[in-house]
Structure 1
Amino acid sequence: MEHLDIDHDGRTLRGALHLPATDTAAPAVALCHGFGGNRAEFGYTFVRLAERLAARGVAAYRFDFAGCGDSDGDFDDLTVSDQVAQAEAVLGALAAHPGVDPERLSLMGMSLGGLTAQLAAARFPVRSLALWAPAAGAVSMDGAAAKLRADAIAEHGYDDFGGLPVRQAFVEDAKGIDPFADAAAYPGPVLLAVGTEDFVLQGDLLAQYRGLYGDRLDLHVFDAVGHGFETVPARERLVELTASFLAASV
């Protein structure tokens, strides 16, 4: 593993690159963490996934989005469009790395990182796309939820989401994003994993993912777990199936 910093828009994005033990340039996957997370992800699943990919001959880059973890920036400035631009910058930096094959890049994301990855995949050529509980609903809230958020921001200056602030900049940016139409240009295979108790990815959104990716979608539904795949067996299955999918499709 080596530390790899990437400059983007006046900020340094900090991360760790896991390279396989090979003398040839390897395919690579960029791992995009969820809202308020960091490059280790819940239960250190990104660390385990990156190590498992490297053992299969695939490089993996775990990085902190701006304002998160060790990266520069202010969390208050977080928007989906900015994260998509960061993901594109990360892919560009990986393509320039001497240990990486620039023609064999892929994306993987959890929750808001999953939404980020699906949007970035439509803008930067990648071989494959893996999504854990992607948060399309973050930019397509129903009227009642949107009003609650607007009221909270009007009163406090932010909406409190699990102890982290969602600011008006995030809301304004979301208005210009269609999570499905804006992702439609990506032509490759997709793995999607979701728990039956997930409050973020409900049935109607899941149906839209099926419509978006069609027969290119490899869907895995995990019984009796929520948004964070909260059991040891579920997380082991999640890491293993994702590593296998990405190694086979890059």
Structure 2
Amino acid sequence: MEQYIEFSVEKAVLRGILHWPESKAGSGGAAGAPAIILCHGFCGTKVGLHRIFVKAARTFAQAGYAVLRFDFSGCGDSDGEHVDTTLDRQVREARHAVETVAALPGIDPKRITLLGLSQGGCVAALAAPSLPFLEGVVLWAPVARAWNDITGILGRELTERALRNGWADFNGYAIGSAYLESLRKPDPVEAIRHVAVPLLVIHGTGDQEISWENTCKYHVSRKVTGLGHLTDTILVTGADHTFSSHEWEQLVFTRTLAWLSGETRSRHGECEASRRAVIL
């Protein structure tokens, strides 16, 4: 079952779709269903390119998970204007989305996973320290260096124009100077390095937008702090930034589900830089 849902954060109404499990398999029985909250990326929506979030949510729901995909403020169907969005605001919105789902009847609040793609991965990593009850965090092709990664996509000229004029147009999206300034300080790698929760990072080696090498930063930093045993990295050979082929999508969905179930979690997983990445 797919249910329309909305919730308010700082006077803005955020809108999304909550996918309920299609069977009781893996749903946690009387304790309620485990849940996954999906965070879309930069200039994205809850649908995602090639409908990746729709397909992911339906796949996960068939496996017994309740799944929320929602639009950040200024995106998709939610209130607000894109020019007003900031990274720290999206972190607060993601945290509120998790808390909203955790409070719903039929949800097991101890079995909630936060999953983000691209900038959504950065948001998930930044939100994780304030959500100690999370069962896991999953990052798909995550941003690791917010300023460098996003301005690298925008280009120097557009970035400077937005900072100078207050905003600039990027493919029809108004990029505000406040948003750009919000990218300077947050460090998602540092934010999640001490969070003792299982972490899965999946990245395509053919990603031309956000380098797969950024994924290593997450894994290596957690290894240094003694959390390498709670961290798994999967590199998908040739896959682009949003895993835009049926084969790549299915691989990402399947491996994510296997990891969530505990089937493929490694006690010694490391990044390819340490010669122990899972490369598919």
TM-score by length of 1: 0.89
Q: Does 1:219 align with 2:233?
A: yes
SS in 1 for 2:203: strand
Match of 1:102 among 94, 109, 114: 109
Q: Does 1:206 align with 2:207?
A: no
**Corresponding residue number in structure 2 for 1:56:** 63
Relative to 1, partners in 2 of residues 1:203 and 1:247: Cα closer, same or farther, differing over 3 Å? closer
SS in 2 for 1:180: helix
**Corresponding residue number in structure 2 for 1:235:** 249
Relative to 1, partners in 2 of residues 1:124 and 1:64: Cα closer, same or farther, differing over 3 Å? same
Relative to 1, partners in 2 of residues 1:10 and 1:149: Cα closer, same or farther, differing over 3 Å? same
- Contiguous gaps of at least 5 residues in structure 1: none
Match of 1:103, as an amino acid? Answer: K
* Structure 1 runs (4+) greater than 6 angstroms displaced: 142-146
> Which piece of structure 1 moves more, 112-121 or 212-221?
212-221
Relative to 1, partners in 2 of residues 1:124 and 1:178: Cα closer, same or farther, differing over 3 Å? same
Cα shift at 1:120 = 0.8
CA contact 2:49–2:242 (8 Å) conserved in 1 = yes
Q: Map 1:1-250 to 2 at 5 A.
A: 1-20=2-21, 21-22=23-24, 24=30, 25-125=32-132, 126-140=134-148, 148=157, 150-154=159-163, 157-202=166-211, 204-214=213-223, 215=228, 216-248=230-262
Deviations 1:66-116, CA, capped at 9 Å, x for gaps: 111111111111111100100110111111100111121110000111110
| Sequence identity (%) | 32
Relative to 1, partners in 2 of residues 1:143 and 1:247: Cα closer, same or farther, differing over 3 Å? closer
Deviations 1:14-67, CA, capped at 9 Å, x for gaps: 111111244631111100011111112122222222222222221111111111
> Which piece of structure 1 moves more, 137-146 or 12-21?
137-146
Cα RMSD, aligned residues only: 2.4
